[in-house]
Structure 1
Amino acid sequence: MVLAWALPVLSLLPLLDAQDPACANLTAMPITNATLERISGKWFYIASVLQEPSYNRESRQIQADFFYFTPNMTEDKILLREYQTIRGQCIYNSSYLEVQRENGTLSKHLSDGKHFAYLLLTKDPKTYMFSFFPEDEKNRGLSFYADKQDVTEEQLREFYDALRCMGLQETDILYTDGKKDLCGPLEQQHEEERKRNQES
């Protein structure tokens, strides 16, 4: 999930200083054990506006995407198991994310270096967002996740409001389509294997 990780950024605070108070919840907060518990489990990648060229290209290829976060709170790591449908194929990947508690980021090592994303918790505990390059007007981006593929207008409204706060356009939103998901059978196979391993 390269699109979910951006290069290091300093802080969301300068971006938000002179903006509407409604934008204040776009500040990445320190990550606690409670935060990690909240984001553990299964999530669906719903939509994004990603201006950074390589992230934008990748996001355009994703038809459907869901994943599991399994945090290890003592090591500040998260096991990421991701199921992506890209160009009519199911692609599965498993990797680890590192948690930077103080500045509210998750990071991932890729071939071109370490990439970071700011975790933005929403009012609704069934959704959250990742922010990228908030200080860079040309590369700024935001992605939206939910615990179900089908989201409500109310849930999406918080995403739309956040886009406006960041100066991004709703017309640039790329949505996934759960009807195009081809990874259900593989997910079921993996779940059955895990259950057998736990029983043995």
Structure 2
Amino acid sequence: MVLPWALRALKLLLWLTARAPVCDHPRAAPITDAILQQLSGKWFVIAGVLQNPEAHQMLKEVKATFFYLVPNLKEDTILVRDYETIGDQCIYNVSSRRIQRQEGTLSRTLQDREQFVSLWLTKDPETFMLLFLPDDDGQNRGLAFYARKPEVTKEQLREFHEALTCVGLQHEEILYTDGKKDLCGPLEKQQEEERKKENTES
């Protein structure tokens, strides 16, 4: 019996082989403790191409967004503390992702369906990408780009553009965020101070 994640990984491999030109771009690799420690901490969403209509619309409405990744190495999960500036307000959300170490994927349940993303490490440890795996119909693909800082260099952005080309996504569909429009700074500062206080008291 083929496990669902194995079937999805096989479909992704076949799709990449059929669609992608020969070029140098990241590939999913097993997720190790060292990689999880590298991903730990604060990240900014820089840009993305999301073919899922709902996800596309959500990213389109986001002016700026950043998040914290908190890996749990024993349970193979990652806690995500997400700050999004939408309109004139800051939206805070906490969620969790399951880690499939050997497959190099992360997953969560959305609307009773398991959504998988493939972790792509880049040449620069200050950035990484997530490839949203296509559904059973080969639709709703996507690629998102993240960085340690709200602004990236031309070289960092070029690697994202090259990866888009390799997976057959259109540059014209890229949605960018703008860190200068962030309104979540005060909430982030307040929560960080509360965490420090709790750690000191304990």
Answer whether TM exceeds 0.5 for this pair.
yes
Displacement of 1:82 in angstroms is 0.7
**After the TM superposition, which parts of structure 1 deviate over 6 Å for at least 4 consecutive aligned residues?**
none
1:194 equivalent in alignment to 2:192: no
What TM-score results when the alignment is normalised by the length of structure 1?
A: 0.89
Alpha carbons of structure 1 residues 137 and 97: separation in structure 2 relative to 1, 3 Å: closer
Residue-by-residue CA offset, 1:56-103 (whole Å, 9 max, x unaligned): 111111111100001110110111111011122100011221111111
Displacement of 1:170 in angstroms is 1.2
Displacement of 1:47 in angstroms is 0.2
Displacement of 1:21 in angstroms is 3.8
Structure 1 counterpart of 2:16, one-letter code:
L
Output aligned runs, 1:119-158, within 5 Å: 119-134=119-134, 138-158=139-159
Aligned residues: 191
Asked if structure 1 preserves the Cα contact closer than 8 Å seen for 2:118 and 2:133, the reply is no
Corresponding residue number in structure 2 for 1:178 = 179
Higher deviation after alignment, 128-137 or 149-158:
128-137
Corresponding residue number in structure 2 for 1:163 = 164
Corresponding residue number in structure 2 for 1:72 = 72
Residue-by-residue CA offset, 1:158-191 (whole Å, 9 max, x unaligned): 0000001111111111000111110000000000
Corresponding residue number in structure 2 for 1:9 = 8
Output aligned runs, 1:33-44, within 5 Å: 33-44=33-44
Displacement of 1:55 in angstroms is 1.2
Displacement of 1:134 in angstroms is 4.9
Higher deviation after alignment, 113-122 or 187-196:
113-122
Asked if structure 2 preserves the Cα contact closer than 8 Å seen for 1:15 and 1:134, the reply is no
Question: In structure 1, how many angstroms separate the alpha carbons of the residues matched to 2:140 and 2:110?
Answer: 19
Root-mean-square deviation (Å)? 1.7
Corresponding residue number in structure 2 for 1:22 = 24
Corresponding residue number in structure 1 for 2:3 = none
Identity %: 54
Displacement of 1:13 in angstroms is 2.4
Residue-by-residue CA offset, 1:84-130 (whole Å, 9 max, x unaligned): 11122100011221111111111123343322211111011000001
Unaligned runs of 5+ in 1: 1-7
Asked if structure 2 preserves the Cα contact closer than 8 Å seen for 1:105 and 1:116, the reply is yes
Asked if structure 2 preserves the Cα contact closer than 8 Å seen for 1:134 and 1:166, the reply is no
Question: In structure 1, how many angstroms separate the alpha carbons of the residues matched to 2:174 and 2:56?
Answer: 10
Asked if structure 2 preserves the Cα contact closer than 8 Å seen for 1:66 and 1:82, the reply is yes
Asked if structure 2 preserves the Cα contact closer than 8 Å seen for 1:90 and 1:183, the reply is yes
Question: In structure 2, how many angstroms separate the alpha carbons of the residues matched to 1:72 and 1:35?
Answer: 12
Question: In structure 2, how many angstroms separate the alpha carbons of the residues matched to 1:138 and 1:114?
Answer: 15
Question: In structure 1, how many angstroms separate the alpha carbons of the residues matched to 2:154 and 2:81?
Answer: 28
Q: Secondary structure, in 3 states, of the residue corresponding to 1:96?
A: strand
Q: Secondary structure, in 3 states, of the residue corresponding to 2:95?
A: strand
Residue-by-residue CA offset, 1:39-67 (whole Å, 9 max, x unaligned): 11100000001111111111111111100
